């Protein structure tokens, strides 16, 4: 499952102190040859690690991105349960593996995901120390069916957190995307499991682009943007993570009772496809019509020849009609 060798992991951990490390020192610490060190450096560069080298001094991180910091996040959010990791296969999976021994609100974030995943089985590009890879645990005393529309509420919480950070003009696309001017800024992946006691365990994953390295952006097969591009502000990832935690805790508190109903108006104000000609894609079948938003269950409403067609979640994709991203 890993895309990073053990030697490269060790080198990455070593370089995280942001000091210079000579090739000779690295060879000794890793017990490898200079050729192997070169291979490890190339491997790190492939995942977005930007290294600076200086004759006689060695290697260090080239950028000045602030690390994710557990104490800073706790200070802003007031939360207690947060796990900040350097490398993880997937922040969602890290929490899923610990169910049900978690408390509501337990959050996992990481600087790098080896196997980040998006909706419909897609890979989530996760360059090192560039974005926010965020997962949040919540158990509900209800069936899975009552959680329809949860991803829409998470989208609203994400926009709220971004607006608190000074980012304006963000919109939402059903069922799990955050957009800015028709380009994807963030995505949501919710993974659920139910117990025999009618308890539904959820892990809410949010991947949010902050500063995309050009080499990594080339791997994405749709239009995208990042916070560094759309804002003149210096984005504090720790503060933004804290805002995400706070907004989710607030909006999820009564969701199993109220559902989406109290947030419908907010969704319609943020919906970027409302009233537009769209394609609804299920496997190889495409249904075209005018997008009329959602109902109180979070289902998709399409007007076709004067009639309303309802689509629920699952393996459903929504695209603008004649859009290049219809794939």
Residue pair 206/240 in contact (Cβ under 8 Å)? The answer is no
Confidence of residue 323 (pLDDT cuts 50, 70, 90): low
- Residue 315 belongs to a domain: yes
52 and 174 assigned to the same domain: no
Do 23 and 131 fall within a single domain? Answer: no
One domain for residues 141 and 289: no
Mean pLDDT of 61-75: 83
Catalytic residue among 173, 184, 237, 266: 184
Find the domain containing 41 and state its range.
Answer: 6-61
Active-site residue identified among 119, 173, 237, 266: 119
Looking at residue 3, what is its pLDDT?
62
To the query of whether residue 119 is one of the catalytic residues in this protein, the response is yes
- pLDDT at residue number 2: 47
pLDDT for 327 equals: 45
141 and 93 in a common domain? yes
Domain's final residue, options 18, 40, 61? 61
Distance CA 81, CA 41 (A): 34
Is 184 noted as a catalytic residue in this protein? yes
Q: Is the distance from CB of 47 to CB of 128 less than 8 angstroms? A: yes
Instruction: Give the contacts of 34 (CB within 8 A, at least 6 positions apart).
Output: 23, 27
124 or 90, which is more confident? 90
Residue 326 lies in a domain: no
Block residue for tokens 């998470």 = 154
Separation in Å, CA 210 to CA 191, 268, 325: 23, 26, 22
- Among residues of the chain, what percentage have pLDDT more than 90? 62
pLDDT band of residue 120 (cuts 50, 70, 90) is: low
Tell me the pTM: 0.86
On whether residue 327 sits in a domain, the answer given is no
173-198 confidence digits (pLDDT tens): 999 999 999 999 999 999 998 876 78
CATH code, domain carrying 17: 1.10.10.10
> Quick check: is 57 catalytic?
no
**What confidence tens digit (pLDDT) does each residue in 210-268 have?**
988 766 767 777 789 999 999 988 899 999 999 999 999 999 999 988 999 999 999 99
Q: Are residues 97 and 158 in the same domain?
A: yes
Q: Is the pLDDT score of 66 beyond 80?
A: no
**Rounded (5°) CA angle 25-30-36:** 95
Q: What is the CATH number of the domain that holds 289?
A: 2.30.30.100
Say what percent of the chain tops pLDDT 70: 94
């Amino acid at each position: 499952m890993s895309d990073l060798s053990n030697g490269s992991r060790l080198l990455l951990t070593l370089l995280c102190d942001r000091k210079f490390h000579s090739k000779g020192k690295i060879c000794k610490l890793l017990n490898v040859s200079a050729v192997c060190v070169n291979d490890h450096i190339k491997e790190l560069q492939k995942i977005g690690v930007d290294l600076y080298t200086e004759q006689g001094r060695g290697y260090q991180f080239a950028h000045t991105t602030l690390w994710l910091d557990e104490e800073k996040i706790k200070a802003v959010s007031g939360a207690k349960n947060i796990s900040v990791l350097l490398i993880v296969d997937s922040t969602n999976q890290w929490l899923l593996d610990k169910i049900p021994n978690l408390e509501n609100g337990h959050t996992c974030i990481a600087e790098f995901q080896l196997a980040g995943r998006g909706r419909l089985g897609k890979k989530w590009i996760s360059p090192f120390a560039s974005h926010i890879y965020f997962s949040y645990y919540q158990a509900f005393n209800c069936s899975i069916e009552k959680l329809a529309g949860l991803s829409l509420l998470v989208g609203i919480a994400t926009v709220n957190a971004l607006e608190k950070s000074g980012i304006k003009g963000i919109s939402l696309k059903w069922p799990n995307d955050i957009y800015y001017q028709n380009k994807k800024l963030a995505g949501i992946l919710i993974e659920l499991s139910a117990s025999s006691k009618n308890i539904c365990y959820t892990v809410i994953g949010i991947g949010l682009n902050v500063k995309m390295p050009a080499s990594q952006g080339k791997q994405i097969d749709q239009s995208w943007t990042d916070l560094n591009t759309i804002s003149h502000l210096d984005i504090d990832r720790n503060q933004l993570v804290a805002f995400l935690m706070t907004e989710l805790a607030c909006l999820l508190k009564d969701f199993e009772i109220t559902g989406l109903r109290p947030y419908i108006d907010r969704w319609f104000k943020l919906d970027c496809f409302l009233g537009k000609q769209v394609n609804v894609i299920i496997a190889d079948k495409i249904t075209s019509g005018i997008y009329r938003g959602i109902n109180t269950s979070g289902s998709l409403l399409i007007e076709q020849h004067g009639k309303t067609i309802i689509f629920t979640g699952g393996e459903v994709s929504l695209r603008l009609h004649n859009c290049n991203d219809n794939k």
